[in-house]
Structure 1
Amino acid sequence: MMQEFWNSFLASFTLTIASEFGDKTFLTTSIFSLKYPRWLVFISSMFALTTMNIVSLFLGKITANIPTYIIETISIILFGLFGIKMIFDGYNMKQDMNVDLKQMEKIIENEIVTNKKKNDDQIQLSTILLSAKQNGGLQWAVGFGSFLGNFFTNSIAILCSTIVSEIISIRTVQIIGGFTFIFCSIFKYYYS
């Protein structure tokens, strides 16, 4: 039981960090923390992400009636596809994308206005799939891992917004996140 808890928790925590660190939510939180009170930005962001995770956990509970092998197969395929997409997006990013915070703000605003298709649903689907796989009430381990992953990434976004925007390449974070998803897909394939 304890091993299952740690597997669920670590999978959720790792995938949340891989998905959220360096994405639009992370960047938006960083930018808002430079303009508005940090505590308010942090609480607002955590409230939104926690609400999203709770909904994802309930959807996972609803889909728990689907046979396990189908959930396993879908999660392996989706994690692999998410990883490939993140790596592809990372390689196609401009090298100097994080040089100027004002420029980054404009890029994010343009993406929010022009993107009608949601590309940010990786963590929701991951949480739903991980939650659906859990038996015996271990969905809360997935939720707790996801919550702590969001807490970690939001804390970094808030506390280190200026430093992160100058030191860490968003392109690099995107590519590392992609490889993390692919690793999780391979891990699930061999150890499911």
Structure 2
Amino acid sequence: MSETTEEATLGLIADIPPGFIHAFVASLSVIVVSELGDKTFFIAAIMAMKHSRLTVFAGAISALGLMTVLSALFGYVATYIPKIYTTYIAALLFFIFGLKMICDGCTMSEDEGEEEFNEVQDTLKRTDEDADVESQTADPAEVQKRSKILNVVRRITFALFSRVFIQSFTMTFLAEWGDRSQLATVILAAAEDVVGVCLGGVLGHALCTGLAVLGGRIVAQKISVRTVTIIGGFVFLIFAMTTLIFE
């Protein structure tokens, strides 16, 4: 690499605002420690065992990316409140989240990850069984009536997206709604650079979801959700302090 290219690269790095870097790192770190061993992680892992990994990943990351952007927008609305208030509120909430994660981690069993994995697996199995029972016991006339109404919508939908994609997207979106990582994204966006929060959050979700679809069962058996939760608690505490420092 020539000196001119090196200087240009260093110049671009130097031009990146510190607030963006802090927001990006904070969002990436918080998402990773929140999502490893979480319900959305295991949904992707279990679905990837039976379906195309790429399709499951695409559906899950689409849902998580959309959720990240929506959460960041919710947080951005709060920026109309004087920044000093949002900064202190964000730091306080991160501090509370951190303490709660540490307390939760200390009370968890060592096989918490495997238990969560099995719970999600049972939920997905019941969902599939309920769908089969409904299709078998439904009144033929009613089914035909509903089919006429929904047939066009279904054809258009499935022409654009596969059933696996839609299931992965829907289940992930619903599981993520109200989750700790969503609330953390809202809080970060209220106090930090919104673009940095979005990019860091999406990358964090992509890393966790990619790990889930590639080896979710192995991760569930090897990873200690208890340890990750405790570490995550300390990460939240660290960013509670850095939020005040970078205020």
TM category, shorter: 0.7 to 0.9
The residue that corresponds to 2:50 in the other structure is 35
The residue that corresponds to 2:185 in the other structure is 127
Whether contact under 8 Å (2:39, 2:116) holds in the other structure is no
Whether contact under 8 Å (1:20, 1:153) holds in the other structure is yes
The residue that corresponds to 1:84 in the other structure is 99
C-alpha RMSD over aligned residues: 2.4
1:184 aligns with 2:242: no
Q: Larger Cα Rg: Structure 1 or Structure 2?
A: 2
The residue that corresponds to 1:172 in the other structure is 227
Q: Which amino acid aligns with 1:174?
A: T
1:140 aligns with 2:198: no
Find the residue that maps to 1:83 and give its secondary structure.
helix
Whether contact under 8 Å (1:29, 1:157) holds in the other structure is yes
Whether contact under 8 Å (1:97, 1:104) holds in the other structure is no
Fraction of identical pairs, as percent: 33
Return the alpha-carbon distance in structure 1 between the equivalents of residues 94 and 73 of structure 2: 20
Return the alpha-carbon distance in structure 2 between the equivalents of residues 154 and 55 of structure 1: 19
Q: Which amino acid aligns with 2:202?
A: F
Return the alpha-carbon distance in structure 1 between the equivalents of residues 31 and 90 of structure 2: 15
The residue that corresponds to 2:81 in the other structure is 66
Q: Which amino acid aligns with 1:90?
A: G
Q: How many residues align?
A: 181
Unaligned segments of structure 2, at least 5 residues: 1-14, 125-175
Distance 1:72 1:105, change over 3 A: same
Please give the TM-score of this superposition, normalised by the length of structure 1. Answer: 0.83
Q: How far off its partner does 1:130 sit?
A: 2.1
1:103 aligns with 2:158: no
Please give the TM-score of this superposition, normalised by the length of structure 2. Answer: 0.66
1:160 aligns with 2:215: yes
Q: Which amino acid aligns with 1:24?
A: K
Return the alpha-carbon distance in structure 2 between the equivalents of residues 176 and 108 of structure 1: 28
Return the alpha-carbon distance in structure 1 between the equivalents of residues 72 and 116 of structure 2: 34
Unaligned segments of structure 1, at least 5 residues: 110-117
1:10 aligns with 2:25: yes
Whether contact under 8 Å (1:28, 1:108) holds in the other structure is no
Whether contact under 8 Å (1:60, 1:127) holds in the other structure is yes
Higher-helix-fraction structure:
2
Distance 1:14 1:101, change over 3 A: closer
Q: Which amino acid aligns with 1:129?
A: I
Q: How far off its partner does 1:98 sit?
A: 3.6
Whether contact under 8 Å (1:83, 1:178) holds in the other structure is yes
